[in-house]
Structure 1
Amino acid sequence: MHPNDARAAQYRGQQESKMHRSMCELISELAALDERCEETKVDEYLPPTEGKHGRYPDVLVDWRDFGRFAVEYQMSHTFQTEVSQRCIHYDREGIPLLWVLSSFDPERVPQAVSDVVHRHRGNAFVLDQQAINASREQRTLVLTCYMSDGAGYDAPVLVRFDALTFPESCLPFLEDRLAGPLLERIKSKRLPYFRALRAWGDRMSDLPLADLEPFAERQCVDRLVAAAFSIVAEAAGKPENFASEHPNIRAMLNTFQNSGTLAPYARLLTALIENTSQRGLLKGSVGEHLGRSINGHRLGHIEQVSEASPEWRLLRELLPEALDPFTRQRLVEAGALPAWAK
């Protein structure tokens, strides 16, 4: 079903309810209490500065010394495509976008709401009666904010709109409860590997990591991990070859592909390199050697490991910024993808 047809079926042809309209007018009224407010508009067409199509923001506010911001009030289960389109549009227009929810139950968060909370870096903003009262008392827009703790949500707090952090792109937030903690968890998972690789003096022995024991082709897996971490180190601007004595990763990768040592992992290594700042390697000899391993090797046909293989799963867990599409997209949307993975 086309999204437009799905929306028509969902709303039964009535795209805006009376309740939605009245809540948008209330948000406009509360924002206008602030003496910095110069103008508010409810459901009025906003022409684009780029592209062919504008939008009808639920509420558009112009504040002196701040500029313009848009509010989208969510009562129904907005489709992910629609959430994405609105976020992309306002980001392109340089207008901060704030999604305000009609209600929020920390024990039951529908996917449509989760998508919005995720884009606000783990923050859910609600206009409830407490927030309405605080807005009128403080004469500015105040919202109730629920912040993710990883497993659930902290007790809600009241927050003024002007107390939020506004990144250059992406949506505002009170505290980053998504990208920061996520990157810390990834870093802590990876740290023992970096330490073990730096202590790996004898390349003919096994890496001193117990969680690699189940692999049958232990030596090959050790080389694979070392090669992958060498690629990441190079991409991060801290070159270090953990896998061999070669002077650079180009020579190391070419040798291991030509000899067949890492030939079964050519597709995996290609996927990794493609999602790093070192993707230029694929245009030269490294790309040629990896391509030969994938399409036919001088040693004969070499079967490539699949994304379901233990080796691919291991590297996806250790290097999710490059190899886990879901984690990668979450970091992209939060504007927090590390430079090495761009």
Structure 2
Amino acid sequence: MHRRMCELIAELAALDDRCVDTKVDEYLPPKDGKHGRYPDVLIDWRDFGQFAVEYQMSFTFQTEVSQRCIHYNREGIPLLWVLSSFDPVRVPQAVSDVVHRHRGNAFVLDQQAVKASREQRTLVLTCHMSNGQGYDAPVLTRFDALTFPETQCPFLADRLAGPLIAHIKEKRLPYFRALRTWGDRMDHLPLPDLEPFAERRRVDRLVAAAFSIVAEAAGKPENFASDHPNIRAMLNTFQNSGSLAPYARLLTVLIENTALRDLLKGKVGEHLQRSIEGHRLGSVEQVDELSPEWILLRELLPEALDPFIRQRLIDSDVLPCWAHDG
């Protein structure tokens, strides 16, 4: 059945005058690397180039999905995963991994898509798009209506990274507004709940320092936390004074996942490490991932501090430049 469906995909693609050639389960030598692959269907389109299709009937493990995506990205060949079926109510993890790669799009070759392909004489697929709570009613889409990013898998509409980025920015906006207006006052950041925080002033300064790090990493230096001429002086002073010493590990993880990673090789890294060592010796208490401060910064700066969201953005090739660790 898998072979027959792959041959059907090749047959429908060949209806298009732009289709130069199709191959089913034939070895594709590598352009870059030591190993090639056997794409389920390889289609060569005039004025576009090669295009690979993987037809998924079984539950492919996430690691295998990742390996195939990495391989075709390296080879510069767009990869489209086509599902044998899709139930929007019950989505197995293996299918969810594939949908995630296509930014919330699930592509299926069903009877309606086959009929439309023959009528339009090109490859047409049924597309289910995530709406955050479930999936919209499926629509038919032609191959040439899809968006093909430079890397990663094609999609009809970005239902994953776009809404996620918008949500993150909306969450941060009140804090940016407060930081830019607070002057010498340290008492009016819009913290969600004051009860868990032992010292409001210290948490305000932590958020200001973290946002200063991000601003510097983004190439738009702005010190929200102090009057120091740069964030190096600010971080060193706050570690030496002890005001941000309990957050040394948190700040280290943040810096490690930004374009400022090299800061940790100099005095800043030394001062942070000294505070961390102080915790091990019992002289400085360090917050951990379950502390309200860490949770707050993870919600505000998930690109660097939330491993799951960070990986989603990496997979969609939309991780912001400031969050690249070099």
- What does 1:209-248 correspond to in 2, within 5 Å? 209-214=190-195, 215-248=197-230
| Greater Cα offset, 169-178 or 45-54 | 45-54
Superposed CA deviations along residues 243-291 of structure 1, whole A, max 9, x for unmatched, are 1111111110000001110001001001001111111211111111111
Match of 1:95 among 77, 93, 107: 77
Matched, 1:261 2:243: yes
Matched, 1:63 2:40: no
Whether the 8 Å contact between 1:212 and 1:218 is mirrored in structure 2 is no
| Greater Cα offset, 66-75 or 234-243 | 234-243
Aligned-residue offset at 1:68: 0.3
Match of 1:109 among 83, 86, 91: 91
Whether the 8 Å contact between 1:122 and 1:147 is mirrored in structure 2 is yes
Aligned-residue offset at 1:211: 1.8
Question: SS of the residue aligned with 2:237?
Answer: helix
> Partners of 1:128 and 1:277 in 2: how far apart?
45
Residue in 1 that maps onto 2:64? 82
> Partners of 2:34 and 2:189 in 1: how far apart?
58
Question: SS of the residue aligned with 2:192?
Answer: helix
Q: Counterpart of 1:253 in structure 2: which amino acid?
A: L
Q: Counterpart of 2:92 in structure 1: which amino acid?
A: P
CA RMSD of aligned residues (A): 1.3
TM-score (norm 1): 0.92
> Partners of 1:221 and 1:139 in 2: how far apart?
61
Residue in 2 that maps onto 1:12? none
Match of 1:207 among 180, 188, 198: 188
Whether the 8 Å contact between 1:40 and 1:60 is mirrored in structure 2 is yes
Superposed CA deviations along residues 155-184 of structure 1, whole A, max 9, x for unmatched, are 111111011111100000011111111000
Residue in 2 that maps onto 1:5? none
Give unmatched runs, 5+ long, in structure 1. Answer: 1-18
Give unmatched runs, 5+ long, in structure 2. Answer: none
Question: SS of the residue aligned with 1:331?
Answer: helix
Whether the 8 Å contact between 2:239 and 2:272 is mirrored in structure 1 is yes
> Partners of 1:240 and 1:47 in 2: how far apart?
50
Whether the 8 Å contact between 1:268 and 1:312 is mirrored in structure 2 is yes
> Partners of 1:179 and 1:337 in 2: how far apart?
9
Aligned-residue offset at 1:329: 0.4
Matched, 1:73 2:52: no
Whether the 8 Å contact between 2:215 and 2:221 is mirrored in structure 1 is yes
Match of 1:157 among 132, 139, 163: 139
Superposed CA deviations along residues 175-214 of structure 1, whole A, max 9, x for unmatched, are 11111110000000000011111121234x4124252522
Residue in 2 that maps onto 1:49? 31
Matched, 1:129 2:111: yes
> Partners of 1:119 and 1:249 in 2: how far apart?
37
- What does 1:8-19 correspond to in 2, within 5 Å? 19=1
> Partners of 2:53 and 2:141 in 1: how far apart?
16
> Partners of 2:12 and 2:149 in 1: how far apart?
24
Question: SS of the residue aligned with 1:211?
Answer: coil
Residue in 2 that maps onto 1:3? none
Residues paired across the two proteins, number: 322
Q: Counterpart of 1:143 in structure 2: which amino acid?
A: L
Q: Counterpart of 1:137 in structure 2: which amino acid?
A: E
> Partners of 1:300 and 1:322 in 2: how far apart?
28
> Partners of 1:51 and 1:77 in 2: how far apart?
27
> Partners of 2:217 and 2:161 in 1: how far apart?
20
Aligned-residue offset at 1:233: 1.1
Q: Counterpart of 1:70 in structure 2: which amino acid?
A: A
Superposed CA deviations along residues 103-143 of structure 1, whole A, max 9, x for unmatched, are 11111111100000000011110000000000000110000
Matched, 1:310 2:292: yes
Q: Counterpart of 2:194 in structure 1: which amino acid?
A: E
Question: SS of the residue aligned with 2:319?
Answer: coil
- Do the aligned partners of residues 210 and 331 (structure 1) sit closer, same or farther apart at CA in structure 2, a change above 3 Å counting? closer
- What does 1:318-329 correspond to in 2, within 5 Å? 318-329=300-311
Whether the 8 Å contact between 2:189 and 2:204 is mirrored in structure 1 is no
